[in-house]
Structure formats: structure tokens, C-alpha cells
Structure 1
Amino acid sequence: MDQRSSARNRIESLLDAHSFVEIGALVRSRSTDFVQEGKKEATDGVICGYGSISGKPVYVYAQDGNILSGSLGEMHGKKIAQLYDMALKMGAPVLELLDSSGIRLEEATDSLFALSRIYEKKAKAKGLIPLYSVVYGQAGGAMAVLASLSDFSFMENKDGRLFLNAPDAVKGNKNDDFAKAKAQEEAGNLDFSGTEEELITEIRKAFSFLPANNEDEAYNEDVEDNLNRAVDGFFTMPAREALSTLSDEGEIFEVRRAYGEGAVTAFLRLNGQTVGGIATTGEALHWKAVVKMNRFLRFCNSFSIPVLTLCDTPGFENCSCNEMHMTKEMGELLSAYGNASVPLVTLVKKAVGSAGACLGSKGLGADLVFAYPESEISVMDAKLAANILYPDETLEDREEKAKQFLEEKGSAKSAAYRGYIDAIILPEETRQRVISAFDMLYGKANFDFHKKYGSI
């Protein structure tokens, strides 16, 4: 691929061979004020059309940085808005390839109105069709906001730049490092960054996992993996490895990998069915991990994708930033879990304190909750509980009381006795039991009494 591919080449490299059909190829700027006649080129700096990725329909537009710097003018914006209208009529995803200098100054308020129309179309499309953004070149100001409206965002890691204010206009800033892929990934603004070839692979993977719209089923019939395959050593596996091991052929599509690293959010397949996987890593919870889980859970619920939660947490991280942000962000996550209508299955390794209660617990509405013989489900760490309950006892006696507390109040058996756990299973049979659970929950229906949005 060329060092700096043209907009058309980018489209053709992403879509199935010979599937792309362009629309609006002859559209030109109609401004007569500051745009010189010689600059009114065909396409007006954006190529729009439709095609397919892995046989699935998609509507796509690519801004052409070689025409008026890919700037967004009246007709440029009108083409994009009409593309969203067509995508919504057909229930097909939209893939936007961004490479733009921003608003076209020469067309002034006409450009701003065109931009606001795109914002409206995209906002209405959210939750109905998946929205993808790929930043190949510059996406600043209004274009950065546009990208943030997408469900999934990708960036080319060499020439891509994503920023609200131009780097040289930010007070005290000396370079453009904050606009580059690595910094934007760590800030939670991107799902993936890489070379153009790596972007193609990752976007195609996303299309293979996700439905075309909120009424489509995400299912792959070409499954060769054994649904009864044992997953040896599952209880001690790290979160990311655990989700990969459960998934058919070990393949997952992970989102926001570099942000909120105390949780892993990824799509996996279980006997062909796409499932959203949320797995905490065993570390104390940080608010960024909660933001990440909330965003992921809401997408899954919008597109009827079942959710598997793997709870492994000792509680909340003790830090000042959590004091500032955690309660609000956890409230958002609780709202997402409590209002979810999709099948919810939870695996518990460790659930301590209110943090454990917030992650797909039975009380939050999980349909099935499984634990393991060695799982810990407790109101607090057993040693701390013993210190509080028996402050005057000797250290040796308190250690004995802690063991007793763990057995009687913090074990999987004690939770199962009270109905908070549906079954205690062996780690190696996890894949079989989870697939069986989701098969049983297929067609689950919740009645929401026509509720719209909560206050958060």
C-alpha cells in the first residue's frame, strides 16, 4: 500500500473486492463567495458509497485530504448526511474514514450547518446501527467530536492525529504527542491503533463479530470448536487469557484495551454466538475501568448481545481520584446493569465488598451466577473483618476467626446456601456451562413499560 493512500484506495482495501459502488461522485461546492472556481472539484473532498465487508453490507465515506484538504463544506456535509439516511433505511453500519483539516472556512456558516446535520444523523443512528470511525490523517476540532460519536474508533499510528485544539494552540504545549495514537488510546478515545494493514485486519474482525443493526443476530454458523472443550487452569487465568480461552477458536475482538486496564472488555464467540465479555483483572477497581465497562455494557444491551461478566475484584482502589469520580461512574454502571434486558451470566472468582456486588451480581438482575469451589464472596476481606469483630483477641485467635469468617460468610458455599449463587462449578467445565446457560436464555424478554432514559 502507498505510504499515504488515497481516499479511494482506503475504501477499496477495506471493502470486499469490487463491491464498492460510489454515489454523489459529481457533487461540487456551490459556494460563490470565497471558493475559487478552479477549486470546485468533483466529490467536494469526500467519497461516499456502499459495499460489503466479509459479505456484510456497509455504507462508507472517506475524506480526501488531497481535495481542499478534506475540509467539510456544505455539499461535503450534505453527502455524508444523506449517506446516514440511506444506512438507517437499510439497517447497515456506517464506516467513516477521516482525513480532514476541519470546517471549510470559505463556506462559513453553511459548513457549520452541514456539520450539525451530520451530528444529528449520527446521534439518531446510535443504538440502531454500529458506527465506526477510522482516523487516517488529521481529525481536529469538529472532526474529533464527530469521531467520538462512533461506537468504535481506530487510528493509523503514523500520520493519524486526533485533537480538539491544534497542538500548537494548546497553552503550554510544545509538541503534538497528545494527538498521536498512543496518547489517544491511553485516554480512552480509541479502540485500536496500528498500520493501515493492521487496521484492515482489526476492522474486518469487528465486522465478523458484530451485527449489522440492533435487530440483527450476531451469529457464526461455521463453528468447528468443541462446545464441551475443557478449559484447564481457568480459575487462575488472567482476565484477557480467560476470555480468549472461552471463545471459539480462541479469537476475541477487544475494545479500549489501553484504557481502564483493571478490566477487559471484548466480544467473544460461544458456539457461534457473539457474547460481550466483561472481565475484571483481580486488581482493586479504578474508576476508568468502570467507565470502560459501562460503555461496553450499554452497547451490548442496545444491540441485543448477551453479556458474560467475570468478576474478580478485592474492592475499590483507595486513591483520591476514585474519591472524586467512582461514585458517579459506578452509578452509571449500576444503571446499565439494572436496566439491561439481554441475557446476563456471571462467573465469580472473587467478589469482595460493594465493588463485587456491582459486577453482575444476582441482586442486580443477573440471570445465572456461577462460582468455583475456591471463590470468595464476602462483605470484606476476612482478616479485616476479624480485626473489627474481635479487636481484643490475640493475633493467633484473630487469624482463626478470619478462617471461620471466610468459611461461614465469605465462601462460595455460604453464598449458594443463601441463593446468591446458582451453582458451584469446576473451572475446567466453564465453557460448557456458560454455553448451556446462554442457550437456555435465548429469547429472553424483559418488559420495560415503555421506559425511555433514566436520569443518568
Structure 2
Amino acid sequence: MAIEARFLKELETRRKTARAAGGEDKLEARRAKGLMNARERVEALFQPGTFMEWGLHADHDCHDFGMEGKPMPGDGVITGVGYVDGRPVAVFSQDFTVGGGALGRIHSKKICDLMDYAMRAGIPVVGINDSGGARIQEGDDSLSGYGQVFYRNVLASGVMPQISIIAGPCAGGAAYSPALTDFIIMTRKNANMFICGPEVIKAATGQTVTMDEIGSASVNASVSGNVHFTAEDDAEALALARRLLAFLPANNVMDPPHAPTPSLNMAPDPVMNELVPSDAKMPLDINKIISRLVDNGDFLEVHREWAKNLVVGFGRVQGIVCGIVANQPIVKAGTLDIDSSDKGARFIRFCNAFNIPIVTLVDIPGFMPGVAQERGGIIRHGAKMLFAYAAASVPKITFILRKAYGGAYLAMCSSDMGADLVYAWPTAEIAVMGAEGAVKILYKREIAAAKDPKAKEAELAAEYRDKFASPYQAARKGLITDVIEPAQTRGTLAMALRNTLSKRETRPPKKHGNMPL
């Protein structure tokens, strides 16, 4: 006997109603603004036909403040699992056309159920945020809902990758869930993220500010550092999420999606030699070096708009996925300051959590000097880099390109901080400080007594470099693995990555270390 037609008709009617979300008028209004709706965003993220939705028929259970009898399809959020590049990924997408995407008890339950499943299954979670915040009509149930989401963000941290897309308003307490995830992608159109809006700031402090000054993608990406990637629109944001996922493992017990080339290519790259300035005082653009190291120049830079004196991001070297941390000498001479230390430490810890080898490119004169840095806690922030590298047990490969001075040399993963392999270019200088500064302290009298002090200073500086700062001196003492010419860097790195993928390292048993924060 076949199922009665009325059951099938009811099912189809309910599905159609739920998928209509806030109604065709609201959906059309969004399209007119060039915005995707919540369901279109989900469909754009996944391979066609792979999305399995959960909670399609969910609705609010609020019977106060005029909410009774007002349907809220899906309770303002779409949840489920689909495939990106053949791998399952969980998603929730808040629907602004349904009650402004505000979070209530059922809305929260759908997100929490999805995250619980993702933790059990070991699959990444992508959250697309577009919400007016807490559903006022549900009072403390709404606050409780946020707390439950935050709790799961923390439980899932380091278990599977969590990516947030800010594609609309994300204000107040709602901003803390994305802040607890691994990466935030924010669109320049239609999106804002802040704790207190212009009106609240005006009332509390008397300051007059615009939304662009506190909550725009530009401010969050370049000033506060809250956002890791910016996108022009929804389509670009979703493409960025797919590209990011392509570098990441599904969870913390799996390896990244390595695809080693069938044979190892150790051929030199002569262009690398040409990229090194002949004058040691001329800055080296580290992006040009990275583009020669990674396959096809494909480097996904993280936090590109913030703390530009340190470059971090993902790439592949002859098919092996790695995280790259590199000083950028063309910005603030490549020094480490408060923001770049935070940026580097967090990226290192992410790589370590998800078994991604870390490649460090060093060209650093030291920590950023200045009263503002000292009063801002550069000691505490710089210590984060030391802690992150020392705590990391993944393969760590370091290349010292030119300057590596003082504590900053250690903070960029020297052998003493646990680097598995350390290579240096012939142009490298490894010392407590630069030769010019050192001779002024060590040979002050000799320089003052010379007929030509400047010439004497230059002579002593050259002698100091040879005796105390030469990479060959470091190699003689076992501080570096080898001295190589720049042209050999890509081949050496490819071999080093393959040789260290099987690395296993145990640490003293403990709950966790106490990182300086």
C-alpha cells in the first residue's frame, strides 16, 4: 500500500512555508540590495545537492509580548551539514528575514545541537552571523541561549576548526561567539560588529562616533585586529571560507590535507638569490620570498590588514600544508611589537592545535622600542611568542635570512625554543645586538681615540660580525643545522617538511600551561 497523498502534500506545504523564511517580499528586498539570504549563503558554501538540513520545522516557543501566533520559520536560523571539496562541514546561517535573526531558546538549541554533533563527528563548523542580537521577548532564555553557544565554542576550541562569517549586524554579546572561534571573515557591505554602538558610547562617554569608526570591517580588520579576513560581499566571504578550509584538517586528531608531490624537487631557485638586497641596510620584502617558497605562489595570508610587521598564513610546499610566520622588514623594520606578538602567538597556537607544521622566516632587529610599548606591556605580549613556540609540538622549521638579534631571535623560534631544524643564509647575523651598536659599547674608547672614528667603527663592526654574529659561528656551536644559499631554500624546506611529518613529542603531564595574556 502506498502512503496517503495527504501526508505528502502536508509535508511539501510545510517545507515550502519553512523555506519561504520571512516571505518573498523580504527576500526580494535583500536581493535588491545585492545581498544573499540565509539559505542562498548555505547553498553557495557547499557542493550542489550535498546540504542536509536539520531543524527545518523548528519554530519559537514564546507566548509573551505579542509573539504568540506569529510563525518564525526555522526560528531564524538554518542548520545542517554539507560538503566542501568532498569533506563534511557543519553550518549555521542566521536568517535576518525571520525576526531579524534574533536569538531565542530554539534558535540557540539548533546551533548547540549542531556544534555537539560536529564535536562528536570531528568536522569543522562555519557560522554565518546576521542577527539583531538577543530576542528581547524571550528575556533570560535568550541570554541563556548565548551562554550555551559560548560554552560550546570553548569546548570545541582545538577540537575542530571554527570559522565565523559576519555578513550582517553582530552587536553586543552576540559578537563574543565569533570572537571565540578560530577565524572571522567579515563583509565590507552590510556588516558591522561592535559591543557598544554610537548611541551607547555617546550616552556613556559623551563621545560622538559613527558606526564606521567602531564597527566596520575596515576597523575590525586593521585597527582592533578582531577580524582575520575581509570580503567585498557574501560570495567572496564564502569563497574565502572554502579556501581556508582547504588548508585545514577536519579535526585535531587528523593531519592537514597534505598532497605530497610524487617526487621531491631539490632544484635551486636562482631568483631567490636576486631578491636579497646587496646592501644589508636595505629592507627585504618578505612577501616576495614567501611567494617563491609556496606552490604556485598560493599563500593565504591571515590578518593581512593588521600588525603588518609580521606576516602569517597558510601555504603548501610541494604539496605539504604548512603555517608560515615571517618578519616583514618593510614595515617597522620587522620588529615585534604588542600587536604583532599577539598575532603571531595566536596563529602558532592554532597551527599546533591542528597538526600544521610551522615555518618561521626570520629577519628581525629586535622588539619595538618606545614608551608606549613598554607601558602597553610589550614584555607580557612578547612573552606570548616565546610561550607559543615553546609549547608547540608540531614540526618547527626556521630559516634565518638576515638579522636575528637579542630576545627577538629567541622569540622567532630558535633551536633553543624547540625548532627541529634551523637553517641560515650566508647573510644572517645572529647576535645579542647589531654590530654597530655592539662596538659602540665594547670599543667606545678605541673609537674615540682613532684618527678617523667612523672608519674605525666600521672596521670594528665588520670584525665583530665575523667573530660574533656570523652564521658559521652559530653553526660551529650547533645552534643551526646548516648554512644554505637562498636559492636552496625551497628545496631544503620541502625536504625538511617531509622529514619531520612523522615527529612525535611528549610533554610533562599537566592540565595546561599558564600563558601570559
Whether TM exceeds 0.5 here: the answer is yes
Q: Which residue of 1 aligns with 2:438?
A: 385
Q: Which residue of 1 aligns with 2:123?
A: 92
Q: Which residue of 1 aligns with 2:300?
A: 253
Q: Deviations over 1:75-123 (max 9, x none)?
A: 1001100000110111000000000011111000011111111111110
Q: Which residue of 2 aligns with 1:212?
A: 250
Q: Which residue of 1 aligns with 2:73?
A: 42
Distance 1:312 1:35 in 2: 63
Q: Which residue of 2 aligns with 1:342?
A: 394
Q: Spell out the pairing of 1:103-122 with structure 2 (5 A cutoff).
A: 103-122=134-153
Contact 1:348–1:371 under 8 Å retained in 2? yes
Higher mean C-alpha displacement, 196-205 vs 252-261: 196-205
Q: Which residue of 2 aligns with 1:9?
A: 40
Change (3 A) 1:454 1:60: same
Q: Which residue of 1 aligns with 2:237?
A: 199
- Partner of residue 293 from structure 1, selected from 339, 344, 352: 344
Distance 1:251 1:197 in 2: 20
The alignment's TM-score, normalised by the length of structure 1, stands at: 0.97
Distance 1:173 1:146 in 2: 27
Q: Which residue of 2 aligns with 1:398?
A: 457
Q: Which residue of 1 aligns with 2:385?
A: 333
Distance 1:225 1:81 in 2: 45
2:362 pairs with 1:311: yes
Q: CA RMSD in A?
A: 1.6
Distance 2:309 2:175 in 1: 26
Question: SS of the counterpart of 1:4?
Answer: coil
2:264 pairs with 1:190: no
2:130 maps to a residue whose letter is: D
Distance 1:181 1:351 in 2: 35
Contact 1:58–1:94 under 8 Å retained in 2? yes
1:205 maps to a residue whose letter is: R
Runs (4+) of structure 1 moved beyond 6 Å?
none
Question: SS of the counterpart of 1:48?
Answer: strand
Higher mean C-alpha displacement, 170-179 vs 264-273: 170-179
1:185 maps to a residue whose letter is: A
Q: Deviations over 1:361-419 (max 9, x none)?
A: 01111111000111111111101111111112231222211110011101111111111
1:154 Cα deviation after fit: 0.5
2:312 pairs with 1:275: no
1:144 maps to a residue whose letter is: A
Distance 1:362 1:22 in 2: 49
2:435 maps to a residue whose letter is: A
**Structure 2, unaligned runs of 5 or more:** 1-29, 277-283
2:493 pairs with 1:434: yes
Distance 2:363 2:372 in 1: 21
Change (3 A) 1:222 1:375: closer
Q: Which residue of 2 aligns with 1:180?
A: 216
Distance 2:502 2:189 in 1: 45
2:173 maps to a residue whose letter is: A
How many matched pairs?
A: 456
1:197 Cα deviation after fit: 2.5
**Structure 1, unaligned runs of 5 or more:** none
Q: Which residue of 1 aligns with 2:4?
A: none
2:201 pairs with 1:170: yes
Percent identity (aligned): 33
Contact 2:35–2:234 under 8 Å retained in 1? no
Contact 1:209–1:253 under 8 Å retained in 2? no
Distance 1:413 1:144 in 2: 51
Q: Which residue of 2 aligns with 1:265?
A: 312
Question: SS of the counterpart of 1:39?
Answer: coil
Change (3 A) 1:169 1:31: same
Q: Which residue of 2 aligns with 1:409?
A: 468
Q: Spell out the pairing of 1:87-166 with structure 2 (5 A cutoff).
A: 87-166=118-197
Q: Which residue of 2 aligns with 1:447?
A: 506
The alignment's TM-score, normalised by the length of structure 2, stands at: 0.85
Contact 2:422–2:482 under 8 Å retained in 1? yes
